[in-house]
Every structure is written in structure tokens, then in C-alpha cells.
Amino acid sequence: MKEIDDLRRELREYNHSYYVLNQPQISDKEFDMKMKKLEQLEAEHPECYDADSPTLKVGSDLQKGFVQVEHRYPMLSLGNTYSEGEVRDWYIKTKKLVGKDFDVVCELKFDGTSISVIYENGRLVRGVTRGDGKVGDDVTRNVAYIQNVPKFLTGDYPVKVEFRGEVLMPWSSFDRLNREREEQQEQLFANPRNAASGTLKLLDSKEVWRRGLQTYIYYTLGEELPLKTHYEQLQKTREWGMNVSSDMKLCHSLEEIMEYIKHWDEARKELPVATDGIVLKVNDFTLQEKLGYTAKNPRWAIAYKFQPEQALTRLEAVTYQVGRTGVVTPVANLEAVLLSGTMVRRATLHNEDFVRALDLHESDMVYVEKGGEIIPKITAVDKSQRDKTAKRIEFIDKCPVCNTKLVRNDEESAWYCPNETGCAPQIRGRMEHFVSRKAMNIDGIGSEIITNMYETGIATSIEALYSLTYNDLRMLDGFADKSARNVLAELAKSREVPYERVLFAIGIRNVGEVIAKKLAARFRSIDELRNATVEEMTEVEDIGEKIARNVIAFFAEPKNISMIETLRQYGLKMKSEEEKVVVSDRLSGMTIVVSGKFEMHSREEYKAMIESNGGKNGSSVSAKTTYILAGSDMGPAKREKAEKLGVKIINENEFAQLLKEKED
């Protein structure tokens, strides 16, 4: 019973990390093996039955803040196998159940996140995630921004039709996104699947479009479908305008199925999107209905998953890199080994906890895989080949560059160097971030030039870039007259960059592009932000206490204040130049506190509506508060204080009515 309980708890945690946090803790194969072990134990011990066991439930991606929609048809997962023998067993068993020969549609198993897309009268009306299989999160707005999802169907489509598919991020988009995140010192996505899932839940739909998601449809549902087989129906689905893979095949025998598996085990490496296996489906809809379902899987389909490509090589050394925010990352330097067509010499070790979990020793023989076939990672150590005298790899306690004692916050897994103003890679990293495209966009100054400037002493800080002269630049290797003049022109042009991008560029820890925009919208000048409290900042959507405290710590550093004042003197924009739009004075004299998560508008949109109608946004509940506009997840402390002070709490509909009454 203890083993069963432990496995259930483990698998629930892994499901949460995979579906909700988009941070898988173990490989798909390890997860599937644990699930099979649990299924075996539960079969042997029926007295331990639990309706909530992971073996009976689909992994859930439901998240707070989204409206949940019930699926008209259950959205189940597929049974998995890594064995061609089990594929044969499934085929033979299915043939016995249907009592005759049958065709199988073989399709590539795309490694994305599941989606249901619904059309009525040919018009896109809803996009819903799989959720827990019974209900899913409504992500219609973001689905509409996926480039190959049509707003309208074409041809002889049914009145109401539902398409099931996978939302994917192509390799090219994934590589670009991770390069951008690396430049901004943000955590990299482990694979395209996690990147696609995280993108689909973004609040900024334009960012969804920019990241270039794609959808591949693999099943069609409806009351009035014109055809009787899955293969023909997918061909018709393509005619209606949906994206259906052209690489599926109608197989008439077990031999054809095995040929398809063998071919794509190699050919998949040339595809523009990630795949992790083959899906086999009984073609005839009548036979599908006859075969039916288990609690979480259809009996008429099975997924064969490819074995991850793995190599064994020797660990030569562990080195450490320091990023612009001071985070120290261990890197495994490996004896070169060929993996998925490329030579692998280095693999990230993430952090100290990861190194400890591997129990890594000097000169260990390690197994290396490519996470999502792109990011090399060490998955295990072959301890049988370990030298008995080998020393355990211990994480360093001082910065490898400036020798400063490393620190680690309780809530973080990373060690970092606190010497922000004296550690060379941090200074260079902040300068590189400052000139990057999404920040100040100073063309002509790249990583190598920053290093050259720093090492020669021409520019050793962000603000020093604006004191550069023509003669300074001509002293740098590779700088001719035209290059020098172009850089000076770019520096001059950067003075017109808006405040929100300047806020992003100065490099406050954990303040990325989106967070900077939200802070700039709420605190309309650098001085207003500098004087903001933790409570005021956490009122802004997606700003938690950790980010707020990082902002306060940044402004508490005298050198940062000096940098800002110098940049201000050089003419950089330190406040928003957009004038507040005044629509009416309907809320004049009212102070309204906005709290919680909303369905009709975002918190920032509501705050803008309050101000544009003459009202004032309150950051905390007091006797001066007129109303609290409350969404879901409103803090209990605010509610308790409101009741104590007699402040009325209104919802979204009541707020809309309030505006209407004032208008009337």
C-alpha cells in the first residue's frame, strides 16, 4: 500500500510539473515506466482501488485565471508503448475483438500540447485545452492568433464541428525564443512542447502570434460528419482549411505498420517540428465505436514512442559560467560524442541540486540525451565504471571570476555572485543586454565589441556607452570611419526609445520585457517606480513579491541610482510620454481597489478604465476606499478588511453597471 501511495503521489507531482508548470522533472519514458508499475501493482491489489489514481485520470493542464469549459466529447490520452512487440500484441488483440481484418491509420505523434478547436457555421468560436479530459481552459483568443488556424472554414463543412490536434512550436521558433531568453537571463524552455504549452497560456496574444505556433489536426468530431473512416475524414478536414499532416499513411497489414515505424524513426529528424512517436488508429469509425474506451484511453488507438537517442561518454571537467544577473551555472565538459547528427562536447548541469541528484564524480561515465532532440543533457551516471578514488563534484562557494562569496536565496535553486558592480561577466552581460534589440536596440555593438570595450577600458558600464567619442571607437579593432559614425548615430537614436524599454534595458533582476511593460503602465516614471512599495507593485498583474523586492533592492543600490541619473542627463526617457486618456468624470471622487483575476478584462485594463473615467486606483483598502472591484482569488486579508470598514465589494458586472448608471 505504501509503494502504491508513493507512486500515486510522485506521478501527481510529475503531472503538475509537466502540464501546469511546463517544467518536466523526469523523461517521458521514466514517467511511463512508473505509470506501468503502478498499473501492475493496482491490478495485483484491487483492495487498494482509488478512483483518483493517476492510472484512471488524464494529466491536467487546468490553471487558475482561465475560464473552464466542459468538453462535449471526453478528451482522453493514449496508451503508450516503447516496444514493437507490444504494437504487434495490440494489433493481434484488436483483430480478435473486431473479428476480421481492419485497416490502421499511422500518423506521426507530434510532441506538442493538445487542443480542441470548435467551429459553428464555419466560424471559429472556441479553443480549449485538454485540461483534465472533462473540462479544459478556454484559450480561444490565443488560438485565433495561431497562424495556421483559419478564422473561417471553406467548402461543404458541417454546421458544428470540432477538431482535435496538437499545438506545436517549430524548431526554428524554439531556437529563436531560447536565444532571446538566454540573452535576457531567463530560464530556457527544455523543449518545444513546454514552450508551446507556456505560450498558449500567455495573456499577451500578440506574443503568441510572434512566437509562430502551429497546429496539426489529428481527429474530427461532430454529429454530421460526411464520411465513415478516419483517413477519409482527415482528407476532408484538410479541404475545409485545417492543417493536417501529409505524412500519415493508411496501412492494410502489420508489416506495413512496422515499415512506417522503421522509416520515421530516422526520417523524423529532418522534420521542422518535434515528434516523439507514431500513433496507430483503427480506420473504421464503426469499429472504433465497437472497441470503445477504458477509463482514460481509447481501445482503438495506441501510441508507439521512439526511444530517445542516448550516448555514453566521459565527464572531463565541470566549469562554471556567470550570467549578467550573477547566476552561476555549472557546465559539464564532455569527451566529444556523436548524438542526433551533431558532436556534443558540453551539457548544462542547471544548478547545485541537479549535480547532487546525479551524484556526479570526477571522470564519471555519463549518459547524454538531447532534450527535445536539441538541448544536450546528462540523464544518468554509469556508476559501475566509476574509479573508486574519484572525488565527488562539489559546487563552488566563490565566484569563478571575481572570487566573491556566492549566495543563495531560500526560494531559489541557483547560487549567484552578489558583486554586481565589480564582477566582469555581470557588467559585460548587462551592457550586452542594454544594447540588445528588445532593449535599446543599438545596432553595431555586439558581444565581442562589448568585451573589447570593457577590456580596453573605453567603456566599462552602461552609462559609459553614451560618453563614447569618434576617436574612442576608431581605437577598437575593426572600427573604420563608417562603423564609428554608425554606432554614434545609433546611440543618438536610442535616446528616443520609450520608457518601458529603458526600464527593461537597465537590467533589474527578473524584470523581463513583459513585466517592464506592466510596471511602466502602472508607474509612469522611473521616480514613481523607485518610490513604490511592495504592496503597490504586487497589485500589478503578474508581479509577485519576489519581483517587487528585486525592484526595491535595485533602487537601494547607490551605483544604480547614479547610473539612472547619468542616463537621464544623456537624454534617455525616464517617464511615459503617453497622456492618460480621459473619457468621462463618471467615477470622479471615487477610489477603487482592483483585486483578483478577471474574465472580461485584465486588472490593468480595469485600472485604466477607472482612471479614464475620473476615478482613482487604490493600492490598499482603507476608510477612503469607495469600492473593491473583485475577481477570483481575491486575497482574504483584503476581504476581511473591507468587511471591517464597511467597504462594498463589487464584481465585473456590477462595475459595468456602475459606469452605465453614471452615464445615464
Grid cell at residue 314: 566521459
The stretch 552-567 carries a mean pLDDT of: 95
Number of neighbouring beta carbons within 10 Å of residue 226:
11
Nearest-angstrom CA–CA distance, 461 and 431: 7
Contact 347, 331 (CB under 8 A): yes
The overall pTM is greater than 0.85: no
Nearest-angstrom CA–CA distance, 238 and 162: 13
- DSSP of 545-613, one letter per residue? HHHHHHHHHHHTSHHHHHHHHHHHHTT---B--PPPPP---TTTT-EEEEESB-SSS-HHHHHHHHHHT
Model pLDDT for residues 113-132, shown as the tens digit of each residue: 999 999 999 999 999 998 88
pLDDT of residue 269: 79
Confidence label for 373 from pLDDT (cuts 50, 70 and 90) = very low
Contact 314, 364 (CB under 8 A): yes
CB neighbour burial string for 300-327, b if at least 16 within 10 angstroms, e if fewer: bbbbbbbebeebebebeebebebbbbbb
Domain coordinates of the chain in residue numbers?
Answer: 2-48, 68-305, 310-385, 424-569, 591-663
Q: Is 230 exposed, middle or buried (0-12, 13-18, 19+ CB in 10 A)?
A: buried
Model pLDDT for residues 76-100, shown as the tens digit of each residue: 888 888 889 999 999 999 999 999 9
Model pLDDT for residues 269-294, shown as the tens digit of each residue: 788 898 889 999 999 999 999 999 88
The 3-state secondary structure of 463-476 reads HHHHHCCHHHHHCC
Residue closest to 106 by CA, chosen among 255, 213, 215, 240 = 255
pLDDT of residue 599: 76
Number of neighbouring beta carbons within 10 Å of residue 279:
20
Nearest-angstrom CA–CA distance, 32 and 81: 8
Cβ neighbours for 36, distance < 8 A, ≥ 6 positions apart: none
- Reduced to 3 states, what is the DSSP secondary structure of residue 249? strand
- Write down the CATH number for the domain with range 2-48: 1.10.287.610
The class that CATH gives domain 310-385 is mainly beta
Beta-sheet pairing, 591-595 with 616-618: parallel
Least confident residue range of 63-67, 214-218, 307-311: 63-67
Task: Reply yes or no on whether the pLDDT at 537 is more than 50.
Answer: yes
Least confident residue range of 2-6, 164-168, 493-497, 533-537: 2-6
Confidence label for 375 from pLDDT (cuts 50, 70 and 90) = low
Contact 119, 157 (CB under 8 A): yes
Model pLDDT for residues 450-460, shown as the tens digit of each residue: 999 999 999 99
Cβ neighbours for 448, distance < 8 A, ≥ 6 positions apart: none
- φ, ψ for residue 353 (rounded to 5)? -60, -40
Nearest-angstrom CA–CA distance, 253 and 87: 12
Model pLDDT for residues 475-488, shown as the tens digit of each residue: 998 889 999 999 99
Cβ neighbours for 324, distance < 8 A, ≥ 6 positions apart: 185, 425, 426, 428, 429, 430, 432, 433, 507
- Reduced to 3 states, what is the DSSP secondary structure of residue 266? helix
Task: Reply yes or no on whether the pLDDT at 257 is more than 50.
Answer: yes
Contact 554, 560 (CB under 8 A): yes
Model pLDDT for residues 376-386, shown as the tens digit of each residue: 888 889 999 99
Q: What architecture is the 424-569 domain classified under in CATH?
A: Orthogonal Bundle (1.10)
What is the CATH T-level fold of the domain 68-305, as seen in this structure? D-amino Acid Aminotransferase; Chain A, domain 1 (3.30.470)
Confidence label for 19 from pLDDT (cuts 50, 70 and 90) = low
The stretch 408-412 carries a mean pLDDT of: 78
pLDDT of residue 186: 66
Contact 280, 106 (CB under 8 A): yes
Model pLDDT for residues 565-616, shown as the tens digit of each residue: 999 999 999 998 765 566 778 888 899 988 887 877 877 778 888 888 888 8
Confidence label for 26 from pLDDT (cuts 50, 70 and 90) = low
Contact 56, 296 (CB under 8 A): yes
Contact 127, 117 (CB under 8 A): yes
The stretch 127-156 carries a mean pLDDT of: 90
Contact 179, 432 (CB under 8 A): no
Of residues 11 and 336, more confidence is placed in 336
Residue closest to 59 by CA, chosen among 80, 81, 88 = 80
**Amino acid identity at 286:** T
Nearest-angstrom CA–CA distance, 467 and 473: 11
Question: Residue with C-alpha cell 560524442?
Answer: 337
Of residues 277 and 34, more confidence is placed in 277
Cβ neighbours for 462, distance < 8 A, ≥ 6 positions apart: 430, 431, 434, 506, 507, 563, 567
pLDDT of residue 464: 96
Q: How many residues does the chain have?
A: 664
Cβ neighbours for 657, distance < 8 A, ≥ 6 positions apart: none
Task: Reply yes or no on whether the pLDDT at 30 is more than 90.
Answer: no
- Give the Cα-Cα-Cα angle 264, 265, 270 (nearest 5 degrees): 65
Nearest-angstrom CA–CA distance, 427 and 247: 50
Nearest-angstrom CA–CA distance, 191 and 332: 19
**Amino acid identity at 645:** L
Confidence label for 409 from pLDDT (cuts 50, 70 and 90) = confident
**H-helix segments, 52-127:** 84-98
Q: Which CATH number fits domain 591-663: 3.20.20.210, 3.40.50.1820, 3.40.50.10190, 3.40.50.2000?
A: 3.40.50.10190
- Which CA distances in Å does 274 have to 28, 219, 302, 547? 14, 19, 19, 34
Report percent pLDDT > 70 for the chain: 92
Confidence label for 107 from pLDDT (cuts 50, 70 and 90) = very high
Nearest-angstrom CA–CA distance, 526 and 319: 38
The stretch 19-34 carries a mean pLDDT of: 65
The yes-or-no answer on residue 660 being catalytic is no
Grid cell at residue 382: 554509469
pLDDT of residue 281: 96
CB neighbour burial string for 577-615, b if at least 16 within 10 angstroms, e if fewer: eeeeeeeeebbeebbbbbbbebeebbbbebbbbbbebbb
pLDDT of residue 44: 81
The region that residue 510 occupies, defined by phi over 0 for left and psi between -120 and 50 for alpha, beta otherwise, is left
Of residues 19 and 631, more confidence is placed in 631
Cβ neighbours for 502, distance < 8 A, ≥ 6 positions apart: 440, 526, 567, 572, 573, 574
Task: Reply yes or no on whether the pLDDT at 20 is more than 60.
Answer: no
Task: Reply yes or no on whether the pLDDT at 357 is more than 60.
Answer: yes
pLDDT of residue 636: 74
Task: Pick the catalytic residue from 57, 109, 201, 573.
Answer: 109
- Average model confidence (pLDDT) across the chain: 87
- φ, ψ for residue 377 (rounded to 5)? -145, 145
Question: Residue with C-alpha cell 513585466?
Answer: 515
